[in-house]
Structure 1
Amino acid sequence: MTLFVFGSAIADFVFRMPNLPRPGETVLGEAGPALQGGKGLNQAIAAARDGGEVRFVGCVGRDPNGALLRAAAIEAGVDVSALREMEAATGLACVCVDAEGRNQIAVSIGANLLARAAQIEAIPPGATLLMQMEVRPDENAALIARGRAAGARVLLNLAPAGALPPEALRGLDLLILNESEAAWIGARLGHPPEAGSLQAALGIGIVVTQGERGVTAVTEDGALHIPAHRVRAVDTTGAGDAWCGVLAASLDRGMPLEAAMRRATAAGALACTKPGAGPAMPHASEIDALLASFRGAISE
């Protein structure tokens, strides 16, 4: 099968500091070199490191940051034949991380606004499409419609929260949300933010990630809850992207939803144990080892 990830590529500048700044406050910290990031690229790297056959579709600038992001994708085994270089600045992010691994992120979206669904020339039946919200919403809506018509599996991570027409959302197989995103869309729909309520409102599969409390999914087949793995968090920035990328890769290779969610939950936990976003995406061997240790602990 083939997994298309349509989304953003952003160069991350990570600032480590004792506490996150409050409004009007300056906090001194240390910054490292630019790292690969952007929800789209992070998720593509996560999927590829888990063994997925991944094509990343997006835009970067003709600048050093764009070259860095392209090289990182290639190193991870991602197909970048549909990654375009544009006469615009590559997207940038300032990521502030405190001593407990919590983060605040500011993003300049840059060339990502030039990404177009038409960069995917053909969608094979049975392919998987994974999208986020750091590109133009109308391009996501166009790709959802094309994916549905082609018989693809269509997933959207509504991050950051943004508006899409209800008819576009109803074309999804899975809508993936964290708790704040679930609250945002629930308010717009006039429904409680729980997965079951949102599933009833939209008629599609809903996944809500809940941090240390695990993740809940509700589809037409019923509800699933997967507990979180206990890890020492260093930086939570890429956890959601690791979760989404590995879920998509697992589903694309035919894994049932529950098993795919368990694998994704392990990947999200591992991403919290390393600094950065793209560089923290775990490899398949690491995910396998954590799942094996979890199963061993249950059997004892």
Structure 2
Amino acid sequence: MTILVVGALHLDVVVRAAHIPALDETLAGSGVDYVFGGKGGNQALAAARLGETVHFAGRAGSDAFGDVLRARLAASPLNISQLQRDPGPSGMSSAIVNDAGEYGAVIVSAANLAIDADQIEIPPETSLVLLQNEIPHEVNLAIAQRAQAAGATVWLNAAPARALSDDMLACVDLLIVNRVEAAFYADLTQKADVLTTLGGEGVTYDGSTYPAWDVAVASTHGAGDMFVGALAAFVSQGASMNEALPRAQAAAAWLVSTPVAKRDDDHALYAFLDAQLNR
């Protein structure tokens, strides 16, 4: 089957430092990486790396960051025929990762706010459409309604938290949130199936808790996106949620235990999954 991911693209500037600076504090960093990012791009790549056919629709700018983003997408297994080009700057983020692997970040959405929903189609054979809150609500709503009409399942990774219309909730089959977002959405007028990620404590779904894999943390940056993309891939390939959740958690565990600069190694990812899931 096919997954369509519609979402944001960012070039993440990831700085490593001993700790995250306080107000007015200047630190010496120990390194910097320029990392392909944005929830949409990250989740699409994660699903594709795990063997699923994935179409990605998003928007990158006409600046140098946009050139880097387009080159990374072109070198991936993703179908990017619905990638849009904006005349202005690309989305980006600046993140600081401390020695414990924790991070703080600032996101500049830029081109992501100008995604044109009218240019996005639901590809044939699409079984699942994956959305996030880094693009405008009206874009998500248009795509979700189109996906529902086409018979596709709709997942919304509702991050960052923001108000959701009843029309949007009526289209959502699975709402994926973290602890903060779960509290924000606690009083929804329409109830959707909810999956809550708990970081190092695992995830909860349908009344059950799935504990996280115990690994040494290099950086948690991007872990949630790897989990969501991997989960989409495994479910699209026919796994039940009960089967897919531990597999997706293993993929996220590999990511957090791998330094940012070494995360493009697919062979290392597959070897880790094989070792963890078949022991």
TM-score by length of 2: 0.92
Deviations 1:148-173 (CA, angstroms, capped at 9, x unpaired) = 11110110101111222033123211
Letter in 2 for 1:211: G
Q: Which residue of 1 aligns with 2:241?
A: 257
Deviation string, structure 1 residues 218-248 (Cα, Å, up to 9, x no partner): 2xxxx33321101111110110000010111
Deviations 1:119-173 (A, max 9, x none): 3223436521001111111111111111111110110101111222033123211
Whether 1:211 aligns to 2:199 is yes
Give the total of aligned pairs.
Answer: 279
Provide the residue aligned with 1:174 in structure 2. 174
Does structure 2 retain, via aligned residues, the 8 Å contact 1:129–1:152? Answer: yes
Q: Using the aligned pairs only, state the percent identity.
A: 36
Instruction: Give the Cα separation in 2 of the matches to 1:13 and 1:26.
Output: 17
**Counterpart in the other structure of 1:275:** 259
Deviation at 1:207, TM superposition (A): 0.3
TM-score (norm 1): 0.86
How far did 1:33 drift?
4.5
Q: Answer whether contact 1:127 1:152 (CA < 8 A) is retained.
A: yes
Opposite residue 11 of structure 2, the aligned amino acid is A
The equivalent of 1:234 in structure 2 is 218
Judge which range, 62-71 or 231-240, deviates more. Answer: 62-71
Q: CA deviation at 1:117?
A: 2.6
Distance 2:277 2:247 in 1: 11
Alignment gaps of 5+ in structure 2 = none
Secondary structure in 1 aligned to 2:185?
Answer: helix
Residue in 2 that maps onto 1:11: 11
Alignment map for 1:32-71 (pairs within 5 Å): 32-71=32-71
**CA distance in 2 between partners of 1:167 and 1:288 (Å):** 43
How far apart, CA to CA, are the structure 1 residues paired with 2:76 and 2:154? 23
Taking a change above 3 Å as real, the CA distance of residues 252 and 117 of structure 1, as seen in their structure-2 partners, is: farther
CA RMSD of aligned residues (A): 2.1
Gaps of 5+ in 1: 190-200
The structural deviation recorded for 1:62 is: 1.4
Q: Cα 1:33–1:115, aligned 2, differ >3 Å: closer, same or farther?
A: same
Counterparts of 1:49 and 1:177, CA distance in 2: 23
Does residue 1:286 correspond to 2:266, yes or no? no
1:144 aligned partner: 144
In structure 1, give the amino acid aligned to 2:276.
S
